[in-house]
Structure 1
Amino acid sequence: MPYISADNCIVLCHGFVGTDSMMGLSYFNGVKDDLTSRGCKVIVPKVSMTGSIDERAKQLDLQIEDLLDLRSSSAKPDLHLICHSMGGLDARRLVHFSGLRYNVLSITTVSTPHYGSPIASLSESLGFVSRMSCQLLLSCLSGSGKAMNDMTPEHMENFNARYKNVPGIKYFSVTSKFQPFINHIFYISNKFIKNGSSSKYPKAFGENDGMVAVNSAKWGEFLGVVSDETSHFGIIGWGIMGILAGDSNYDAKDMYRWLVDNVAKKVEGKAE
Structure 2
Amino acid sequence: MAERPTAVLIHGLFGFNRFLGMEYFHGARALLEGIGLRVLTPRLPWAGDIMERAQALAGQLANEPGPLHLIGHSMGGLDARAYISHLQGASRVASLTTLASPHRGSSAADHVCATLSPFALFRGVRALTRERVQAFNEITPDAPGVCYRSYAASRPLSELPWLTRRYARVIAQHEGENDSQVSLASACWGEHVATLHADHFELIGMQLWLNPWRRRARFDHLQLFREIGQWILAHAGANRSLQQ
State the superposition RMSD in angstroms: 2.7
Q: Within the alignment, does 1:156 sit opposite 2:133 as a pair?
A: yes
Q: Is the 8 A contact 1:237 1:249 kept in 2?
A: no
Change (3 A) 1:214 1:98: closer
Q: CA deviation at 1:257?
A: 1.1
Structure 1 gap ranges (5+): 1-5, 198-204
Identity of aligned residues (%): 29
Change (3 A) 1:238 1:248: farther
Q: What is the aligned counterpart of 2:179 among 201, 209, 214? A: 209
> Whole-Å Cα distance in 1 between the matches of residues 113 and 124 of structure 2?
18
Output the TM-score relative to the length of structure 2: 0.86
Change (3 A) 1:53 1:183: closer
Q: CA deviation at 1:7?
A: 4.0
Partner amino acid, structure 2, of 1:193 = I
Q: CA deviation at 1:232?
A: 0.7
Q: 17-26 or 6-15, which moves further after superposition?
A: 17-26
> Whole-Å Cα distance in 2 between the matches of residues 48 and 124 of structure 1?
20
Change (3 A) 1:207 1:267: farther
Partner amino acid, structure 1, of 2:183 = A
Change (3 A) 1:268 1:167: farther
Change (3 A) 1:125 1:145: closer
Residue in 1 that maps onto 2:227: 258
Partner amino acid, structure 2, of 1:188 = R
Output the TM-score relative to the length of structure 1: 0.78
Change (3 A) 1:83 1:246: farther
Residue in 2 that maps onto 1:202: none
Structure 2 gap ranges (5+): none
The Cα offsets for residues 225-261 of structure 1, whole Å up to 9 and x where unpaired, read as 122xx2111111112x315377653211110111122
Q: Is the 8 A contact 1:234 1:248 kept in 2?
A: no
Q: Within the alignment, does 1:80 sit opposite 2:57 as a pair?
A: no
Q: CA deviation at 1:76?
A: 3.8
Q: Within the alignment, does 1:172 sit opposite 2:149 as a pair?
A: yes
Residue in 2 that maps onto 1:201: none
Task: Provide the aligned length of Structure 1 versus Structure 2.
Answer: 235
> Whole-Å Cα distance in 1 between the matches of residues 147 and 39 of structure 2?
19
